[in-house]
Structure 1
Amino acid sequence: MNGNDGTRVRVTLRVHRFTPRPERDHARSGSPFAKQGSPFGSGTARRRPRGKQWIQEYALSVLPDTTVLDCLLDIKRTQDPSLAFRYSCGHGMCGSDAVAINGTPTLLCTAKVKDWAVSQAAQGTTDADGFRKTTGATIDESGDSAPDGDTNALLVIELSALPGFPVQRDLIADIDPMLEQIKRLKPYLQADGRLATTKDGKIDVFEYLQRPEQLAAYETLSNCIACGVCEGSCPVFAGGEAFIGPAALIAASRFINDSRDTAAEARMDAIDTADGIAACQSVRACSRHCPRGIDVGEEIWQLIAKVKERQ
């Protein structure tokens, strides 16, 4: 489909909606003999919320280059103000608007209608790699969808909350479990305090000198925006297993590879557990849609090798 000729397309957004029930007081209901969960596992933080679930469809006429976020904003302003979703910068920098589009975790603000709209007939089919199809429809000059020559097929985009996390409301997932796991691994520089000095021996502000190759070892990893797309794509984490998750491992790797950090051994000890790197099954689905271009699977594989080299 051509997004630059001004031709509008008709598309239906099929949204998986959710309204939670009021929380019950679980303080007295827990058994003192209940098995304690892993610090990286499901536990109460990953408990599936209870509430009303339904699918609601919204019809729109938009330009092919319109982002899915803009479609939702249009719906909220003109059709249904009760529709709940989250966003902030709208430019793929903050990561707050991660959802599943056609079953694939990605960002609303970077996903365009022309790339994600599929014909209703194509929904649920898989590609050559066994992954669910996310595209397939084309647009003719009149604005009708034309998958495989069918100009009357309905274009659909299916939206649901990010997999692997409790749903708070509609498309809003509770990513606090991921953020807590990242925080548990101390995602900040732990240096030895020795500062660079000038030629006359004075402290050169608070500068820690690095060579370009030292910076290159972790620079890409510092681009992570903790959006949760990799975690929603991971069959281990999203499946509810006890696993620290790829986002936390990337955060740990960022500092393990930083020449200024002096806590690399302690960081590797923290992830060298059954719920840490041992739980990673190297599926590499986490790499498929990282909005910052990080090859998450490869980085985790390198991290696993580095941890095992100590043994």
Structure 2
Amino acid sequence: MDDALTTVTLKVNRFTPRPERDRGARGGSPFAKKGGSPFGGGASRNRRPRGKQWVQEYTLQVRPEDTVLDCLLTIKRTVDPTLAFRYSCGHGMCGSDAVAINGTPTLLCTATVADWAEHPNPLAQADEEGFRHTGSAEDGIADDTDVSNAEDGLGVIELAPLPGFPVQRDLIADIDPMLDQIRKLKPYLQADGVLATTREGKVDVFEYLQNPQQLAKYETLTNCIACGVCEGSCPVFAGGDAFIGPAALIAASRFVNDSRDTATMARLNAIDTADGVAACQSVRACSRQCPRGIDVGEEMWQIVARVKER
């Protein structure tokens, strides 16, 4: 199997937080704006972390089918035990290892080296006189620089923490703001609380029985693993604007579409705010890398339509 190995370079954006100073009971500015969005977010969520930041490169011998998570585990175990990243199941089911790979939010455990390794484009590099070639090799502009360096390895993969969230350390982002937003929308079934009974006075165990059409309306949405990939891809949320975010709206949509839930109007009212559905710009970037196959952008359009139609 050694013959199948090749090299890849991982460029990891690293971060070590600076110890927080104890400010005592002085608090913040008395002129600071109070309240704000009920969903949080804004500058406080996306503020620049304080600490040491640098890019560190690791070159490994890997197989093309290895995942980026495999590479990081190898680094952690054999090269640099100080590298920090988050993962759990490693099978694309828990969503804990979401990061930005080459600038695109995705899961470490589902991204293979062969799919994500990139070679630097020699045509985009400046020559000795400071000019960059913009033509192609077929145009005769670059004679020597158009030779691919694939024989030297698979290429380079750049890793950074998930956009839109505070960085805790290296590739670990604090996703608590997203989870808090989901909790605020009460992501649990709210039924009328009246137990159906049979003629004999016993509890009817089939009270919440659904037909296949009713189940299909929300079944796909139950696949959401709250990984944050859609939020890291959203230019509004990742840009730091106050926005509840697509993950929370997906959670709300799951129950809005559930025939057993009796709180539909309350749920729609809760997201009908300037920082709720009104903040969605319908860019649909949230759909591009969902690891569970949810068309998040389409669901955003559907929930916005439900809010307007009510």
- Mark yes or no: TM-score above 0.5: yes
1:1-311 matched pairs, under 5 angstroms: 7-25=4-22, 28-36=26-34, 37-40=36-39, 41-42=41-42, 44-121=44-121, 149-152=148-151, 155-198=155-198, 200=200, 202-205=202-205, 207-310=207-310
Percent of matched pairs sharing the same residue:
76
1:31, CA displacement in angstroms?
Answer: 1.7
Per-residue displacement from partner, 1:114-159 (whole Å, max 9, x unpaired)? Answer: 111111228999xxxxxxxxxxxxxxxxxxxxx9744456600100
Question: Does the Cα contact within 8 Å between 2:99 and 2:171 map onto a contact in 1?
Answer: yes
Q: Secondary structure at the match of 2:303?
A: helix
Per-residue displacement from partner, 1:73-119 (whole Å, max 9, x unpaired)? Answer: 00000000000000011101110000000000000011100111111
RMSD: 2.3
Mark the CA change 1:29 to 1:153 in structure 2 (over 3 Å): closer, same or farther: farther
Per-residue displacement from partner, 1:169-228 (whole Å, max 9, x unpaired)? Answer: 000000000000000000000001234545755213475111111110000001100000
Amino acid in the other structure paired with 1:18: F
Per-residue displacement from partner, 1:51-90 (whole Å, max 9, x unpaired)? Answer: 0000000010111110100100000000000000000111
Amino acid in the other structure paired with 2:78: T
Distance 2:263 2:189 in 1: 9
Question: Does the Cα contact within 8 Å between 2:234 and 2:286 map onto a contact in 1?
Answer: yes
Distance 1:287 1:206 in 2: 36
Count of aligned positions: 286
Distance 1:119 1:187 in 2: 44
Question: Does the Cα contact within 8 Å between 1:178 and 1:228 map onto a contact in 2?
Answer: yes
1:265, CA displacement in angstroms?
Answer: 0.4
Per-residue displacement from partner, 1:215-249 (whole Å, max 9, x unpaired)? Answer: 10000001100000000000000000010000000
Question: Does the Cα contact within 8 Å between 1:196 and 1:209 map onto a contact in 2?
Answer: no
Q: Secondary structure at the match of 1:301?
A: helix
Mark the CA change 1:86 to 1:206 in structure 2 (over 3 Å): closer, same or farther: farther
Amino acid in the other structure paired with 1:33: F
Q: Secondary structure at the match of 2:236?
A: coil
Amino acid in the other structure paired with 2:169: R
1:9, CA displacement in angstroms?
Answer: 1.8
Taking structure 2 as the reference length, the TM-score comes to 0.87
Question: Does the Cα contact within 8 Å between 1:195 and 1:206 map onto a contact in 2?
Answer: no
Mark the CA change 1:229 to 1:249 in structure 2 (over 3 Å): closer, same or farther: same
Bigger helix share = 2
Q: Secondary structure at the match of 2:121?
A: helix
Amino acid in the other structure paired with 1:38: S
Larger radius of gyration, structure 1 or 2? 2
Taking structure 1 as the reference length, the TM-score comes to 0.86
1:38, CA displacement in angstroms?
Answer: 1.6
Partner of 1:142: none
